[in-house]
Structure 1
Amino acid sequence: MNANIGDRLHVHGNVVGQADRQGEIIEVRGPGGRPPYLVRFDDGHQTLVYPGPDAVVESARRTEGADG
């Protein structure tokens, strides 16, 4: 998994009733865009994340051009 600053991290809930979480990657600490990532989640909470198989990185470059 590789990411850039500004990409979105989407973590799917893996327990029944657990909501998905989304946030912006504000810092990439691993070499070559690899984890860990400092993420600011939509609720304002910031934390260091080592994404598991329940996580997807959504490229900021892809979403910028989606409206036009």
Structure 2
Amino acid sequence: MACKGDRLVMHGRAVGRQEQVVEIIEVLGPDGTPPYRVRAENGHETIMSPGPDTVVDHRRTADEG
């Protein structure tokens, strides 16, 4: 389960591939479940349902509460 402001960390599945991190900007499923509208560091937004190689990072910055 996730909330707006959480981050999804997608671990690289191949040698040499780096993790990708996106911010959840909207939860579209019930009770914090996927799908999520996310924003990448480059500003690109998409809707995704994360796979098993993805973890939710619940940390927030100080101004997010």
Sort the TM-score into its range (normalised by shorter chain): 0.7 to 0.9
Distance 1:29 1:4 in 2: 10
Higher share in helix: 1
1:18 Cα deviation from its structure 2 partner = 2.2
* 1:6-25 superposed matches below 5 A: 6-25=5-24
Distance 2:14 2:24 in 1: 24
| Identity %, equivalent residues | 50
Moved over 3 A (4+): none
Query: What residue ranges of structure 2 are gaps of 5+ in the alignment?
Result: none
> Aligned pairs, how many?
62
**Which residue in the other structure is 1:52 paired with?**
51
- What are the superposed Cα offsets for residues 5-42 of structure 1, whole Å, 9 maximum, x if unpaired? 00011111112232211011000000000000111011
What do you get for the CA RMSD once the two structures are aligned?
A: 1.5
2:27 aligns with: 28
CA separation in 2, counterparts of 1:26 and 1:34?
Answer: 13
- TM-score, normalised to structure 1, is 0.79
